Amino acid sequence: MEVPNVAEKWMGCVRKVTIGATKEQGGTRGNIVTVGGAKSIPYMDFEGEQGCKPVIAMDVLDTVPEDWPDALKEPFKDVLNSPAKWAKKCVEQYGADMVCLKLDSIHPDKGNKSAEEAVATVKSILQAVSVPLIIWGCEHNETDNAVMPKVSQAAKGERCLLAGASQDNYKIIAAVCLADGHCLVTQAPVDINIGKQVNILVSDLGFPLDRIIMFQTTGALGYGMEYVYSIQERERIAALSGDNLLGMPVICNVGYESWRAKEAKASDAEAPQWGSCVERGPMWETITAATLLQSGVDIIRMYHPKAVAAVKKFTQDLA
């Protein structure tokens, strides 16, 4: 009996988005990163091209993360007070494809630092590493609208990825990204309809669709991961079915979300029955990333070098 071919034929694809600009392209990056390009759902290579391999962006905070558990601080203990050194370590020692600078300290409740300080941090990281940079605001609209334009201008021409635009706050960030030649994260709270809406809103401002990365916020293993998984999977299927406004690469924030889970951060004394926290936290992060990858993710923000190494191996082995 003939075995029927049940492979899907997809008519759409995920756009390719390039982040970072070399000297010839008007920036100073030593290497650039291209993500997207999938023409089938992840790891179904008999249905179509897989596109570019997912990349890992390691988070660097602009302030010492006081609330991090010791197991997470340990690999960065010598660099936590210097974002530039921290970024350098992520790239040179831990193999990060990109660095994601999280501007936590500009938040009114987390330091209220000035735009000038944020600009100085951005410049120091651009100088310290040659990989493309993601610059993530503090997610306080008023503050981000004041700080991100200055940060954007300071990194003009570097084709960074800036976060982000939401349904209620997209005009300023989209305008500055457009003016300074950066890529833009469009953000929705685990809601595919709003995700599409934000893409329409920024494209109405003239923002090119091939410079957008979508972010549906992230839930870690045990904390809503399945909701995010199904939204991202639906986004990817819509993209492959030809929905132009959902055919963008996807980013997820695995490090931060995984390490919020008590299963990841509880010390050995707090949870002796759960096994060593040195292994437990990275495992929580690894499993979250490895699972979400299968829903269609192109950039993964991560924290722990052990998790980074495990996920890198996973993406390479599966490719």
Binding site for another protein (CB under 8 A): 192-194, 196-197, 200-201, 204, 234, 238, 243, 245-246
Residue 134 near residue 160 (C-beta atoms within 8 A): yes
Least distance to another protein, CB of residue 193, Å: 5
Amino acid, res. 177: C
Least distance to another protein, CB of residue 315, Å: 27
Report CA 203 to chain centroid distance, whole Å: 21
Mapping DSSP to helix (H, G, I), strand (E, B) and coil, where does residue 312 land? helix
Q: Between 3 and 269, name the residue whose CB sits nearer to another protein.
A: 3
Least distance to another protein, CB of residue 232, Å: 13
Q: Between 83 and 249, name the residue whose CB sits nearer to another protein.
A: 249
- Report d(CA 91, CA 99) in Å as an integer: 8
Residue 150 near residue 118 (C-beta atoms within 8 A): yes
Q: Between 238 and 311, name the residue whose CB sits nearer to another protein.
A: 238
Helices (H), 129-191: 141-154, 171-180
The region, left, alpha or beta by phi > 0 then psi within -120 to 50, assigned to residue 142 is alpha
Residue 60 near residue 90 (C-beta atoms within 8 A): yes
Least distance to another protein, CB of residue 245, Å: 5
- Dihedral of the CA atoms 94, 96, 100, 102 (nearest 10)? -10
Least distance to another protein, CB of residue 10, Å: 13
Q: Between 9 and 77, name the residue whose CB sits nearer to another protein.
A: 9
Q: Between 169 and 258, name the residue whose CB sits nearer to another protein.
A: 169
